[in-house]
Structure 1
Amino acid sequence: MNTKPFGVYLHWPYCARICPYCDFNVYKNRTNDEAAWIAALTQDLDFWANRTAGQKLSSLYFGGGTPSLAPLSVIEAVITHCDQKWGFTDDAEITLEANPTDAERATFADHAKAGINRLSLGVQSLRDDALKFLGREHDAEGALRAIETANDVFNRITFDLIYARPNQTLADWEKELGEALALGSSHLSLYQLTIEPGTAFAKAVDSGRWQPAPEDLCADMFDLAQAQAAAAHMPAYEISNHAAPGNESRHNMIYWTNADYIGIGPGAHGRITENGIRMATETALKPSDYLANPSATETPLTQDEAMTERFSMGLRLIGGMPLTPDDMFFDQANRLDTLKQLIEDGMLEWDQQNVRATADGRRLLNRVLYELLG
């Protein structure tokens, strides 16, 4: 049996509202045909279970969109089907993304009864003005209620915060983050506000309605978050993610360590390795198309594409990634020289077994990757 981590990601494509910063494959919530969704998702799972016989799931992740808005019967059916087809490891993580609205908070106990053992809350901010700017449906008080309820229901919870918002000062961020760290979560994801093409925020910035925070301030906020979270015994284990020891996201570690995972649901991506070939999979984007044909296109990655993904993911981890002198990375003669130069520049560290980005390297990771891989 393969003992490497192995997971399933399910994309639920509906939201009650589309946030202005979001560029995910999401659609406004609508009445859903539970039977049709169960049939499509289980058909998709059946196909991949036959392809990956002998595996056990270490993670099942319900993402989106807002999967906590999915009918409970759909969530129950997927968990049951995964258990029947693969089975779960003893310490398997089953995560559900949710928002801190009163309606979703009322269903937390039902989700836990269905088998969810980790909740990921889209808090985004503890400030009412920021939540309004970010297009969220909850307020700060609602976020605090949701976190309190989640802590009562689930053994493990995480929530997100977005920093580097317009007019946010370093002192503002320090105070807000301090409040967040005191709320009892074992995991936090701290993301700099980025302006993605095609979003409402991109249009607002292009029209001059507001401008992103200056780069120097963003860097200061990043450094503050690293230090403040570490002091609260929740050090960074990945560029944007902080956890108490033992509470790292098992599902995201699948991505960052280049392990295999199945992607089901509209617009879901997956990565499967067969006969030494890394395969990228992607399902139909539109819910109606997926329901009519719940299957994925499969594209073999070239060696360079697979290597780019491996380094792009692995160097996000604070502990870095395996890299030995006989790695195919060094098949191109100039790469050893490039690696040595990045080490000399203080961007990377390498002990012949593992390569990791330094604190400076993580701040400039896109540039480091460009230098390293071209």
Structure 2
Amino acid sequence: MDDWRNGGFGLYVHWPFCQAKCPYCDFNSHVTANIDQKQWVKSYNQELARTPEALRGRVLNTIFFGGGTPSLMHPDTVAAVIEAAREIWPFANDIEISLEANPGSVEAGRFAGYRDAGVNRISMGIQALNDEDLRRLGRIHSVAEARAAFDIARSCFDRVSFDLIYARQGQTPQDWETELQTALSMAIDHLSLYQLTIEDGTAFGDRYARGKLRDLPSDDSAADMYQLTQDICAAHGMPAYEISNHARPGAESRHNQIYWRYGDYLGIGPGAHGRITMGGIRYATETYRAPGAWLEAVSKGTGESLRESLDHSEAAAELLMMGLRLVEGVDLDRYASVAQAPLEQEQLINLANLGMVTISDRRLCATDQGRPVLNAILRDLLVG
């Protein structure tokens, strides 16, 4: 059996445009005044039409429209891509089709159109429930607009998630606790809660390097906020199922679970990554990042800029890195099958004795204590 079946099969569609570039964002996103939506439909569908024969006939479990700001896509554009995918793959009876959205009035006005196009899950980038912090984060919506858009989304979709960022400038654990309680009081079943990270190449990264990004919480304060997040969400029936994601049972993001369970996913659009298995070999794929370069490449044959095979050790390392982010952990026998060698028993025992991992029924899981230092655990397991 191809290993990817343990995780499922999904389609990722990258929309590279935003109304404004947030200062913390290192995603492949671009601000432009004019977008020819018909051209983008044509290019997406050309890419889908070139799907390798080895990937056709699979059951498609999920589609995810990410970005950028996919809620700047016209509903007809989304509908056309979904229909093109339907012509290539049989859809799972419970297929999850997600779209990322910002809570501006323009995007919110399109929610009913996305529902009619086939989208059944919205993931909203709210990021903060405080107007001053929204301004600092470069967001162009207010808290009132976010709440209004959220209410519209809930009226159109059964499944609506939203993102918040914590450990923001000037934020205390008490501030975050109050904000998180407010978020949980809203009628939701999924939350993505990310600690602010300062990435090189972003506006925040540049300010930080110049010593001008002030009032960031200390590491200890950020760690307190992380622990508060785990405790409060669990008490509200939304425990973490992944390091930064919390859900009521059954409301987990199925598309993201394909990543974390190391399934296969085809990535199309500028800067999209993919993992696809053909002939028993897993390949890593990338596409051209610049929108114009991607469109030109598609017109000449393919938007892919890279397709390279992963050897057994590379694939196994990815399986471990992704799977240990999940509370459910990694099947050790599956790891050994992919790696063609088991993990070192001595390393596993040492980490278990330190309280970093547990091993039960041949499953390796990071503990509550180990999950915040997952990179160190992975170094021990993969480097020795």
The alignment partner of 1:359 has SS state of coil
Which residues of structure 1 form unaligned runs of 5+?
none
**Displacement of 1:36 after TM fit?**
1.8
Q: Is 1:263 the counterpart of 2:272 in the alignment?
A: no
The alignment partner of 2:333 has SS state of coil
Q: Is 1:250 the counterpart of 2:259 in the alignment?
A: no
For 1:51 and 1:298, the matched residues in 2 are separated by: 15
> Among 351, 364, 371, which residue is 2:373 paired with?
364
* Alpha-carbon RMSD: 1.8
Q: Which residue of 1 aligns with 2:282?
A: 278
> Among 208, 211, 218, which residue is 1:214 paired with?
218
> Among 53, 58, 79, which residue is 1:55 paired with?
58
**Displacement of 1:302 after TM fit?**
2.3
**Deviations 1:36-71 (CA, angstroms, capped at 9, x unpaired):** 211211111112263312212110000000011023
Matches within 5 A, 1:1-374: 5-48=8-51, 50-211=53-214, 212-294=216-298, 295=302, 296=304, 297-324=306-333, 327=336, 335-374=344-383
For 2:339 and 2:381, the matched residues in 1 are separated by: 11
Which residues of structure 2 form unaligned runs of 5+?
none
Q: 1:331 to 1:54 in 2, by over 3 A?
A: closer
The alignment partner of 1:184 has SS state of coil
User: Mean Cα displacement is larger for which, 185-194 or 22-31?
Assistant: 22-31
Q: 1:330 to 1:276 in 2, by over 3 A?
A: closer
**Displacement of 1:35 after TM fit?**
2.5
Amino acid aligned to 1:165: R
| Aligned structure 1 segments of 4 or more residues deviating by more than 6 angstroms | 329-334
When the two structures are superposed, what TM-score results if normalisation uses the length of structure 1?
0.96
The alignment partner of 1:48 has SS state of coil
The alignment partner of 1:82 has SS state of helix
The alignment partner of 1:130 has SS state of helix
For 1:334 and 1:137, the matched residues in 2 are separated by: 48
**Deviations 1:296-318 (CA, angstroms, capped at 9, x unpaired):** 12111122221221111000001
For 2:255 and 2:339, the matched residues in 1 are separated by: 29
User: Mean Cα displacement is larger for which, 280-289 or 296-305?
Assistant: 296-305
For 2:338 and 2:106, the matched residues in 1 are separated by: 50
Amino acid aligned to 1:364: V
Aligned length: 374
Question: Any conservation in 2 of the 1:34–1:73 contact (CA below 8 Å)?
Answer: no
For 1:200 and 1:326, the matched residues in 2 are separated by: 39
**Deviations 1:244-288 (CA, angstroms, capped at 9, x unpaired):** 110000000000001000000001000011232210001111111
Question: Any conservation in 2 of the 1:66–1:98 contact (CA below 8 Å)?
Answer: yes
User: Mean Cα displacement is larger for which, 28-37 or 327-336?
Assistant: 327-336
For 2:277 and 2:342, the matched residues in 1 are separated by: 27
Amino acid aligned to 1:174: E
**Displacement of 1:326 after TM fit?**
8.4
**Displacement of 1:90 after TM fit?**
0.7
Question: Any conservation in 2 of the 1:15–1:65 contact (CA below 8 Å)?
Answer: yes
Question: Any conservation in 1 of the 2:189–2:238 contact (CA below 8 Å)?
Answer: yes
